[in-house]
Structure formats: C-alpha cells, structure tokens
Structure 1
C-alpha cells in the first residue's frame, strides 16, 4: 500500500476536485467557483491527500475561528479503504489544534453509518439532529462535536457527563434497572458519553440478522450475532446455545466497545426476547449497567427517531468479565427443583403439539407453561407491572418461592428472567434448557397440560 500524505489544496487540484464532487456528493456538490473562493480564505484550511506520485486521493477542509467546523471530506472511490479519510481528518484536527481551537463541529447525513463511524473513531460525539438539513433531498443531518480541550466548571472541576445519569433508574424501581424507554435512550445516545448500543436481531430459523441490521439500526449500534457471540458451539449434550466460555464472551464484549465503566443498552425487533440473551450474559458476567429497550426497534421508529445504515466497528473496550453474578441451574437441579420451574416457550411447544427443532416434544415434568411472549403487548411493549405481578402470582411465583426458568435453548428464558427481575424476583436460568433435556434419553418428557 502506497503512503498517503497531506499538503495544502491548491488551484492545480481543482480540475480533479471538480470531477469528483458530483460523484461523491451528488446534488450537494460544490462548484469550482466555491472551492476557488474557499481555498483563498485566511480562516479556512483545505488539504489534499496524495500518494507518492502526487496523485490526488482525497481532499478536506475546515473552518477556523469562529466557526470551528469541518466543511468537507471527500475520497476518490478508487482510493477508499486505504485510510485516506482518516489521514485527512487527523490533519484537519491538527490544524484546529494549531489554531488553538477547543471544539470542532461537523454535520453528516443521519443515515450514513460509515461516515459517522469514521468520526466516532476520531473522538466525535453526536450532539444534535438537524431535520431536512441537506437540500434538495431533505435528508436529516447529525451534528457531531469533538472536544479538544478539557471542559472546566466554575470552580475548576472537570465537567463530565455520565451515561448512567442519562438513563438512570429512579431509586427503588426495579423495572427501570432492567428496561429503558426509547426517549431515555435517545437522550443518552445524544449525550457526550453515549451508551454502548447492541443490536441483537435473531429469531429461530432465521439467519438474516446481520443483513437487516446493515439496512438500518439505532445510531452507533453494534451488531451482535447471537449464535456466534452469545453461545458456545451447540451439541446434544449441552443444548443449542450453551453459555460461551468467559474468554470468548470477554473478547466479544471488548469488540463491541464495552469498557469497565460502560453503560449498555440492547434491543431487537422481537420485543426484547432475543436481546435479553445479551442482557443476561452481560449481567451474569458482572457488567452492572445493562438495560433492554422496551419495544425495541419498533418503539424507536414509532417515536420518529432516525436509523443509521452500514456497519459500526467501535474502538475496542477493556471490560473484564467476572461470571457468576446471576444464578444458573443444571438439569439435575431442575429435575428436583423445590420451587417453581417456568417454561418460557410458546404453549403449543410446552404441550407437545408442536416441536420444530428438538428431538422430543413436550416439557420438563412438573414445569409450568409461562410463554414469555405473554409478558408483552401485541405491539411488543412490556406489560404494566401490576399486570405482570398478577400473571406470575397465578403461576405460583410468590415471595419465598425459588424460581427457575428454561425455554428451548436459553434465549427467551433470559427475557422471562429479565421480566421477573423488573418485578424484584431473582430467578435462575437453566442454560441447556429443553434442547439439552430432550436430547438426554434418561430424562422423562411430559406432554399435555
């Protein structure tokens, strides 16, 4: 790969810039005359990125005092994936520092996840949204800011913004420590320290989660592959989604950008029933601040918030996992459980009428049918706390009663456990669930009610 260097953008470069502008920016392309005027201004810095032969690979510009704004960054299509945009952006940031700038702003199309990732990697954070900013197409613009100097309060104390404060649960409300609404998440996403957002779209029998994520996801959200990232290899002895080894989970969590003090929110397009697997695993691994977005993707879109496309690759985090923070039980524990064992699968799988994947149909003897979908409204929102308490009271979940939960493979059971946690009930997960139980010829399987 040839080296990329920067120099001042000059009049001799404008023929090539004029060719690239409509290809890169379409109807928003600047004219040659605009560039001729811009590169002559004393309050502007325009740079060209060139290779060893002097070929123009890209260009960018920044407005200095008082605007402190990135004006443009463009890379020739044939020069992409060579780090040209990063080289240009770093050089523009250095120019602002040299001019004693303390903050730098930019606008980027709201749907352009790739560009936003470039800026996030440089330290920019989202601070606003300008509706219909780009004309004539009427596209929204995300406003981002990079702080180049420490912000100091009135008495000389560094000002920080805690994400935990942005989506904090009111004291004593267990529900708000597990679930969070989209308005609170929207506020947090636009804060100076946004949470790590995980997109966990998955469904039994489907493998298009990554594809649909790429077409549109919450701003800054990282895709999590449930089968690959949130489980060990399947086997009849361990079930379809065994718990991952701690080392594997830690490596994945760091890849998602989770740090030692990160706040995490998770979502899906299924009412949280798959995202809860990430919630449970991270809480089990000792990550304290993890919440499920109530209503998930549907609630976000219904609230009128924009989606970002493309794939997000955050800076690696440094989280250290410490498994064991949430309770688990094994097959022997479930077989001789002293309390209530809840089966979170759909009722027809519990009775044995339907079994799409496991070798035997039915349920663990003595278990109670409690489909986790019944915890949700038809639109996928969590039911009110009083309704949930009545539901679980009727299922035998009462103070002093030990509760264990299973499903097909430990996925939707995690959602049931999250719902119970929102009511102040500490339930244990049977990770192997029915996929493990039904593969063991020594285990009895019951059918019917």
Structure 2
C-alpha cells in the first residue's frame, strides 16, 4: 500500500519538503487544525457518550480527544485513521474524523478493494448507529415510526455521510495521478528536447569543422598548383633572362597569366563565402544511407556554386597544358568512351590530377609524367605516375605542408571511392583513385 504522504505532493526529487511526512508546512498546519477540530468534536461527543453509558465524563472526553487526534496521521496512515473512525462510530462520535479519513483514503494510491472494504465497513457502522439512534430518539419523543421509515432514514444518512467523501476522494486522486503523469511526460519531453539540442549542437560543430576542412582543401588546391607553376616559371625566367630575352618574356607572360588565374579563383571562392544571398548554415536532417550516397555523388562542392562552374574532365587537358608550358613532360591518355559524370566526381578527378602534378613540380622537377583516365560504366579511374626527378634540374625550393595527399584522400573517400598513393620501384611516385558514379548520364 502506498502511504498517503504521496498524495499531498512531494519535493522536486520525491522527498517531502516539510517535517516528517508532510509535503510542506502549510499541509502540516492544515492537518493540525483539522485534528484539533476533530479532537474537540470527539471530546464533546465523548462526554455525551459517557453520560449515556454510565462512565466518568473525563474518561469519555479523553477517549474522544485521542480518537479525534488520530486525524493528524491521515496522510501517513490513512487506513488506521479510517479504522479508528469505524471503531468509534457506535459511540456516536467522529463525524469529521470519518468524512476526512474516507476522503484521504480514497485520494491515495491504496488498492480499490481495500478502499471499498473500509467504505463498506464505515457505511455499516454508520447505518447501525443511525438506525439505533433514530429509533431510540423517536421512542423517547413518544413517536413510533414504521420500521421501513427508520431503515430508509438510516440508509440515506449512512450513504450521505460515506459516499460523497469517497467519490470526491476518488476524483481528486484520479486527477492528481493524471496531472503527475502529464508532468512526467512534460519532463520527459523536456529531457528529449535537451538531448536533441545537444545533438544538434554537436552536428553543427561537426558541420563547421567539415566546412573549415573543405575551405582549407579548396584553398590548397587553388593556390598550391598556380603558385607552384609560377615559382617554376620564375626559376626558369631567372635562368634564361640574360641568355634568351624572348623566352624570358614568354615566361614572364605565363607568370602573369597564372597569377591572374589564381586571383580569379580566389575571388570566386571568397565570393561564395561572403555571398549575402547564401542561406545560413543549418544542421540538415540525418539522411538514409542510400540518399546520402546519391546526394554525395550528385552534388558538387560548395565551391562550385554561386555562379562559379566547378572544374570537370574537359579541363584536365588545359591543366596538363599548363604543366607542359612549365617545362614538364606530361603524357595524357583517356581510355574508354568520354562520358559525363556527376559534377562532384569530375571535380574530384580534376583535383586529384591537379594536386598530383603540383607534387611533381615540387618534388620531382623535370620528371616525365603519365596521366591516365579510365572512363567506365559506373566509375572513373585516375592514375598519375611520374619518374624520378631529372638530374641537374633547377631547385625551385617549393615548400610542402604535407596536406596534398590528405586532401586527395578526403575527396575520394567522401565519394566512397578508393585512393592509393606511394613510391614506385623506379624511384618515382604514383597516385591512383577510383571514383564510383551511381547517377552517370551518357553524353548524347
């Protein structure tokens, strides 16, 4: 049986805030006033009972005080208080005690069979007391009503004293349990919202980190290749400035062209980052695996939006031509039917070739290089192999941050492809990437 201390309410963690079993001091003082009123009533009724029973009035008053004072325990031991009210009912005392104790019992989580049994006992005790008392009073006044009248009055009085507090207590208890359940649901929803907010914050932080990584990768790809070619042409210009003015002039023009191209690409990228029309970054919903793969394969990098066309396979020839103009021996071969792949796939292939050629300029100046593109039905393969650097080649002193291979691997892995890079037996270096394409369109 659940104690009735749970009925009046509890503190935040289920611990009463008031003394002993009371939820608060207001509840305690309310019960003290009720118990005092009940004790006074029972004491007066006990005096009348003692007078009729032929016992000392003091004993009857003391009995009434003790019985009425048990109402102070109604929130802790409601069943015991109801039993006391039933026990003193034949003595015609405990009117307030019986009503309040029945209400308190019905409003608790006490099993309904126990509530029904105690309510039945109270009805029976009140019925017997009313029947006997009413019949005695009528005879004392010289009136002898029919038995059915006495019985009807006794039934109505016993039900009138018992049914209302029980029914009202059941209603209050049900309402309180409903409020508690709604409060628990609200607390549960609040906890879920807090967890969702934490997860959204984590996803936002992850998105910010991914955006920073993507911007750094784009900046590296845009700047490193152009600047590497500029440094190579500058070294060549320095070497031939005095011997071949015409070649020096051409190299100076190439340096200017490369610088302008690098500035143009940087402006386009900064325009994307500063665009006022670009919506604020929000945390996207978690897509299904199939949707995520299709979206990653279909969507180009954000650097290709806002009016800037992303590089494609058609731009690889111009990329190779730039390296040839810088003095590198580059062979380009395309196997299979040239097809149109998803923009993200073509951009990744272009960036892999670009970074591989940049690494050749940095670490193997003068080395012969082969670029192979294999166009297949559902994938695009890229292979860039260079030999060892040429002996006596000029040292252009290009710095390396070690992020080129990392960026290439990240691009390929984002498309669920494969990436391998490492030295060859001949002393060169090889970079290969396999880029799957799930939504490729054939060129008409």
TM-score (norm 2): 0.18
**Based on CA coordinates, which of the two structures has the bigger radius of gyration?**
2
Considering fraction of residues, name the structure with more strand: 1
Higher relative contact order (CA 8 A, sep 6+): 1
TM-score (norm 1): 0.18
